[in-house]
Amino acid sequence: MSELEGAEARHKVVVVGSGFGGLFGTKALRKSPVDVTMVAKTTHHLFQPLLYQVATGILSQGEIAAPTREVLAKQKNASVLLGEVVDIDLEARTVTSQVLGVEKVVPYDSLIVAAGASQSYFGNDHFAEFAPGMKSIDDALELRGRIFGAFELAELAASRGEKVQDLLTFVVVGAGPTGVEMAGQIAELAHRTLNTDFRHINTEKARVVLVDAAPQVLPPFGESLGMKAQRSLEKIGVEVMLGAMVTDVDEYGLEVKFKDGRTERINSSAKIWAAGVQANPLGKLLAEQSGAPLDRAGRIGVNADLTLPGYPEVFVVGDMISLDNLPGVAQVAIQGAKYAAKEIDGRLKGQAPQKPFKYFDKGSMAVIGRFRAVMMVGRFRVSGVIAWLSWLAVHLMYLTGFKNRVTALLRWFVSFVGRDRSERTMTEQQVFARRALGRLEGGAKDLVSLRRPEDAVEDRRHELEAQAAEEARLTDAHERGVRVG
Ligand SMILES: Cc1cc2nc3c(=O)[nH]c(=O)nc-3n(C[C@H](O)[C@H](O)[C@H](O)COP(=O)(O)OP(=O)(O)OC[C@H]3O[C@@H](n4cnc5c(N)ncnc54)[C@H](O)[C@@H]3O)c2cc1C
């Protein structure tokens, strides 16, 4: 058999997504006799747990988004393909992806789908324009622009003698870990970082409101840690509004309805949505073809070995699955992807199937502010500095890339020991480009010109050659600087 034939005969694994499931699944196959193609709609692996620090100016986007090509550069059996997966054909065993209108169909022998989840607005998707969620780098940068922009607009308004309180009101919807972390950081930003930077406004008077329909903050952490977190938030100046359901959001604020029927309007220019998740629509696509059930959040029911019912060659992992009430956390995706990779490898080596997938819970933590966090590991509960130090160690350990760990540590030193933020840059693009793109029917695709016909390229070449010849002639004839006429 020739070398080429040998290469063609290798088992083909396609991995959808470059998040925790996708990247860790691909890496776990590095020693297997397979060729892996990782198809993802971004060129990076995003460390979502630190998105809030990009939004609030502590970290740069590069520090939490390692380029997947660089991460996988040394893994010779893996290749990366940029594209949004738009179709998976379970019978033909192909994955179809698109980027800027260019389509690619990749065949597979085994498939790992790890496309994650997005923000859910509970059927009110129009809220998204006024209250972005926090799932991507685009989200975090837009929020950074909106948050720092609100202080700038307030300064401008104050300098003109206008009222500023609405501009200095920040509302975070959702009191889960993301909402708590975000609200805590905005409060520290307003009260600690920016308080000497402005001349017309007092940033310490900024109002930071954390709203949730639930009766407590951080419900998965239990009542006592939830209470501790709430008290810590209040100490750093966050107003916690519980039992308050958001019923409307517009450009200038939002409306909440309390359990007793009372409604309240909160005027605010910067609103952040951190409530609710919706599994990736690829789950629905797989469910339609396989008959697998979907839960209310669009998560797909999988077998105990993470395979799709009726399709043992297809694994679904991470935030997309509904199995044994597993939480939507990074470790579920990482452990699931490693399990799927091991199963694929074992099958090729003729090994018996593994026992059903079992998630090992390594614990949860949420940061409230500097030196304040809550942590839960099994029955063990802790809050305060110890929890914060544990958070620091765990996040450094899991952040992808050595250089990112070093720079993140430096930036945390600057922000937590000092009071500065290294990444306060904001641009018009951050705030408005996505909205502008959204108004184009085909999005970014509409901005890409059709390929120039060959003759148009040649015309341009002649034009450039003539221009270069004229430049050279002018220099050689000493005609530069000579007055004409
Ligand atoms: C703000 C925030 C904070 C969080 N904090 C924590 C925390 O502190 N601890 C914790 O354990 N968990 C945390 N989580 C949850 C954790 O990040 C997720 O559980 C984890 O990322 C799930 O991994 P996944 O692989 O299923 O999905 P993801 O990591 O979301 O990866 C999905 C991948 O699929 C790609 N993709 C999506 N659709 C397509 C498509 N159609 N075609 C191609 N590619 C596609 C995406 O670009 C991405 O690369 C947090 C999440 C968020 C949003």
Mean pLDDT, range 402-416, rounded to an integer? 90
Q: Is 181 a catalytic residue?
A: yes
- Going by C-beta distance under 8 Å and a sequence separation of 6 or more, which residues neighbour residue 142? 132, 430, 431, 434
pLDDT of residue 6: 46
Residues, the chain, total?
A: 485
- Catalytic hit among 63, 142, 181, 343: 181
List pLDDT tens digits, range 357-407: 999 999 999 999 999 999 999 889 999 999 999 999 999 888 888 888 999
Q: Rounded to the nearest 10 degrees, what angle do helices 385-398 and 402-412 cross at?
A: 150
Could you tell me which of 278, 280, 315, 283 has the C-alpha nearest to residue 297? 278
pLDDT in tens, 32-70: 999 999 999 999 999 999 999 999 999 999 999 999 999
Pairwise CA distance, residues 348 & 313, whole Å: 12
Q: Is the pLDDT of residue 105 over 80?
A: yes
Q: Is 48's C-beta closer than 6 angstroms to any atom of ligand 1?
A: yes
Question: Ligand 1 in contact with 51 (CB < 6 A)?
Answer: yes
C-alpha of residue 265 to centroid of ligand 1, in Å: 33
Using pLDDT thresholds of 50, 70 and 90, give the confidence band for residue 460. confident
CA 266 – ligand 1 centroid, Å: 31
Task: Please tell me the pTM assigned to this model.
Answer: 0.91
Share of the chain above pLDDT 90, in %: 84
Pick from 60, 205, 209: nearest CA to 131: 209
C-alpha torsion 51→400→177→130, nearest 10: 20
Which CATH number describes the domain made up of 128-275+363-434? 3.50.50.100
- Measured from the Cα of 282, ligand 1's closest atom is 41
**CA distances for 94 relative to 14, 37, 102, 111, angstroms:** 9, 12, 16, 9
Average pLDDT score over residue span 459-470: 90
Q: Are 405 and 412 in contact (CB under 8 A)?
A: no
Pocket lining: 133 vs ligand 1, CB cutoff 6 Å: no
pLDDT at 226: 96
Residue 416 CB neighbour total at 10 angstroms: 15
Ligand 1: which of 135, 329, 374, 376 to mutate, judged by most atoms within 8 Å of the beta carbon? 329
Q: Is the pLDDT of residue 299 over 70?
A: yes
Q: What is the pLDDT of residue 69?
A: 97
Among 399-403, 423-427, 472-476, the minimum mean pLDDT is found in 399-403
Across the range 344-363, mean pLDDT stands at: 97
pLDDT at 353 over 70: yes
In 3-state terms, what secondary structure has residue 35? strand
pLDDT > 70: what percent of the chain? 96
User: Cα–Cα distance between 113 and 39 in angstroms, integer?
Assistant: 10
Whether the CB of 172 sits within 6 Å of ligand 1 = no
The pLDDT of residue 3 is: 43
Domain with CATH 3.50.50.100 in the chain: 128-275+363-434
Pick the CATH number of 11-41+83-119+278-348 from 3.50.50.60, 3.40.190.10, 3.40.640.10, 3.40.50.1820: 3.50.50.60
* pLDDT of 288 strictly over 60: yes
User: CA–CA separation, 445 vs 120, rounded Å?
Assistant: 25
Supply the pLDDT for residue 54.
97
Distance 116 CA to ligand 1 centre (A): 5
Question: Quick one: pLDDT at residue 451?
Answer: 57
- Evaluate: CB of 134 within 6 angstroms of ligand 1: yes
Which residue puts its alpha carbon closest to atom 6 of ligand 1? 49
C-beta of 319 in contact with ligand 1 (< 6 A): yes
Q: Model confidence at 452, in pLDDT bands (50, 70, 90)?
A: low
Nearest atom of ligand 1 to the alpha carbon of 21: 25
Tell me the residue type at 400. T
Residue range(s) occupied by CATH 3.50.50.60 in the chain: 11-41+83-119+278-348
Strands (E), 219-288: 238-241, 244-250, 253-258, 263-267, 270-273, 277-279
223 Cα to the center of ligand 1, angstroms? 27
Which has more pLDDT, 332 or 5? 332
Contact 249, 243 (CB under 8 A): no
Residue 484 has pLDDT above 70, yes or no: no
Which tens digits make up the pLDDT trace of 124-149? 999 999 999 999 999 999 999 999 99
Ligand 1 contact via 182 beta carbon (within 6 Å): no
3-class SS at 36? strand
Average pLDDT, the chain: 93
pLDDT band at 330; cut points 50, 70, 90? very high
Residue having the nearest C-alpha atom to atom 38 of ligand 1:
115
Q: Atom 37, ligand 1: which residue's CA is nearest?
A: 115
